[in-house]
Structure 1
Amino acid sequence: MTSGPGRAAERAAGRGAARRTALVTGASSGIGRAVCQALLARGYHVLATSRSPEKIPEADRLPGATYLPLDLTDPASIEACAAAAGPVDVLVNNAGESQLAPLEELPMDALERLFQLNVFGAVRLTQLLLPGMRARRRGRVVMVGSMLASFPLAFRSSYVASKAAVKAFATAARRELSPHGVWLTTVEPGSINTGISARRTRYLADDSPYTDAFRTVSEHLDRNEASGVSATTVAATILKAIEASQPKPLYAVGSNAPLVFTLRRLISRRAAESLVSRKHGLR
């Protein structure tokens, strides 16, 4: 059975004050759920967020986790979630939307929603939880980004920009917070087999001149993700970042990350862009 906040607090108190609390956004499936499982196995008190926790079937709920409602597009919901969470030692900003569209045809309301969810909501939640981490002189904030932020791809401009933004926030603010015992880091997964392809929002005009190239990229993305690493593998890397004494600014996992990041340092930016395009069927 999933516990409510009262029972969770009693259980945490019974196990001692040293027990750490972690809040994971987008925890109902995929990477978020796998991160919650990994943290529970390590003895963390886990706060798992979802837009509508009451709609999660009992069989799909993680035993030991406390579920909190959170809509990152709603400022009031973000404030309420932070207040309900109380003191938090670890924040994993995982919730987000994957988007695919030609830049020319991307609806502005879709772009604004994407940035509110992927960037502004995550940043605001982080702001609300940082004072407690700083006061206790311990904390970890993990931004779940994407390797596409390091290797941009056509028709993914909005998604790439949002993931580059959260990485920039974490990287730039590290020096502000590390003297206070709080570390910010980014984990960039490559292709992941989590079913995200079916949930990706796509925008393409009926008479679009980009139709053929768009469909090619879309098909290659779906295929790459079908053979990508598991959410459990990504969760293990996130746990590594959380439990490092001084986490690195960036961790990457999947899509042959060690090789491709090494290659990126050895070849020109234009050559790297060309390789990414060819991997997704573009010439």
Structure 2
Amino acid sequence: MTAQKSGALTVLVTGASSGIGAEVARQMVAAGHDVYGTSRNPDTVKDPVPGVTYVRLDNADYSSAAECVAAVGEVDVLINNAGESAAGAFEDTPMDAVEHLFAVNVFGPVALTKAVLPGMRQRRRGTVVMVGSMLASFPVAFRTNYAATKAALKGYAMALRREVAPYGVHVVTVEPGTIATGIGDRRTIHIGDDSPYRAEYETLAAATRANEDKGISATAMAKTVVDAALAEQPKPLYARGNRAPIVFALQRLAPRQLVLDLTARVHGLARIRP
């Protein structure tokens, strides 16, 4: 078993009002930690997790990152979980939607990480967890912008990991596979009624719905996030779901085009040689 940090820690979990974030917050409270969870509207969280203090954070409002950290105080563990899901045709997605997705999924977590790092560096301890997606490692058609945001977040984490290591700070990426959290019902879709891509997009959307219906639970995924966050010497990358150990091994051994073809097939798309 991996050694874990001991003693009560101050944990900040973004997007803690539902899904993986709520389950991470719940498990952190159960482990005896002081947990703060973020929401754009803390006063209107429908099912607050007992023991969690909710604070305001809007990933698209970078100034709210500093305000959030000022309200919480010293942060030992930051879990950047909040984000939005998106799908659709690349051509059909307007640039303002692309910019918004990057603001929420990338630049917001970057701003919050920048806000907690000075304190972690000065105290010479801390862990930052970026909750990404296996689509960062295995991108698929019609999830272009979402996959790009998660790949950017992974790139930040992998590079930052060495930058802050001399100060006792760990940076970790966790990549969930398909999760049964109902996120598909909240996904932003950009596909025109007369789009030439519509038929293939609908094929992918149907396969995605079926995969999500049988995906792993938020509780199971949250355990991986918590284990990564509390590890004394965390690995750079944790992944769970979609047969992660097998597919990551395949990624290392197989030609890239084969991996892309298999990823497309899992999402219902036929193999087409570019």
Shorter-chain TM range is over 0.9
Shift of 1:266: 1.8
Distance 2:141 2:160 in 1: 29
The Cα RMSD (Å) is 0.9
Gaps of 5+ in 2: 1-6
Higher mean displacement: 241-250 or 114-123: 241-250
Is 1:188 aligned to residue 175 of structure 2? yes
Q: Deviations over 1:58-109 (max 9, x none)?
A: xx11111100011111122222112111100000000001100211111111
1:70 aligned partner, one-letter code: L
* Alpha-carbon separation, structure 1, partners of 2:44 and 2:27: 23
Q: How does 1:221-240 map onto structure 2 within 5 Å?
A: 221-240=208-227
Q: How does 1:7-156 map to 2 (within 5 A)?
A: 19-57=8-46, 60-156=47-143
Give me the TM-score of the superposition, normalised by structure 2: 0.95
CA distance in 2, matches of 1:115, 1:40: 30
So what's the TM-score if we normalise by structure 1? 0.92
Aligned to 1:172: 159
Matching residue within 258, 262, 265 for 2:252: 265
Q: Any gaps of 5 or more consecutive residues in structure 1?
A: 1-17
- Aligned residue for 2:4? none
1-side partners of 2:65 and 2:165: how far apart?
A: 24
How far the C-alpha of 1:55 sits from its partner, in A, is: 1.0
Distance in 2 between residues matched to 1:202 and 1:73, nearest whole Å: 19
Q: Distance in 2 between the 1:259 and 1:20 partners?
A: 34
Paired residue for 1:245?
232
Q: Deviations over 1:134-153 (max 9, x none)?
A: 11111000000000110010
1:208 aligns with 2:210: no
Alignment of 1:278 onto 2:258: no
Deviates more, 1:67-76 or 1:92-101: 67-76
Deviating more after overlay: 100-109 vs 120-129? 100-109
SS in 1 for 2:91: helix
The secondary structure found in structure 1 opposite 2:151 is helix
CA distance in 2, matches of 1:53, 1:240: 26
1:183-214, Cα deviation, whole Å (9 max, x unpaired): 00100000000000100000011210001000
Q: Percent of aligned pairs with the same residue?
A: 55
Superimposed CA distance per residue, residues 203-228 of structure 1 (whole angstroms, 9 cap, x where no aligned partner): 01121000100011111111101100
CA distance in 1, matches of 2:249, 2:141: 22
Measured in 2, the distance between the counterparts of 1:24 and 1:141 equals: 10
The reply on whether 1:197 has 2:200 as its aligned counterpart is no
Which moves more between the two structures, 241-250 or 251-260?
A: 241-250
Give the Cα–Cα distance (whole angstroms) in 2 for the partners of residues 48 and 243 of structure 1: 17
Total equivalences in the alignment: 264
The whole-number CA distance in structure 2 between the counterparts of 1:72 and 1:212 is 33
Flag the structure with higher helix content.
Answer: 1
3-state SS of the aligned residue for 2:111?
A: helix
Q: CA deviation at 1:264?
A: 1.5
Give the Å deviation of 1:243.
1.7
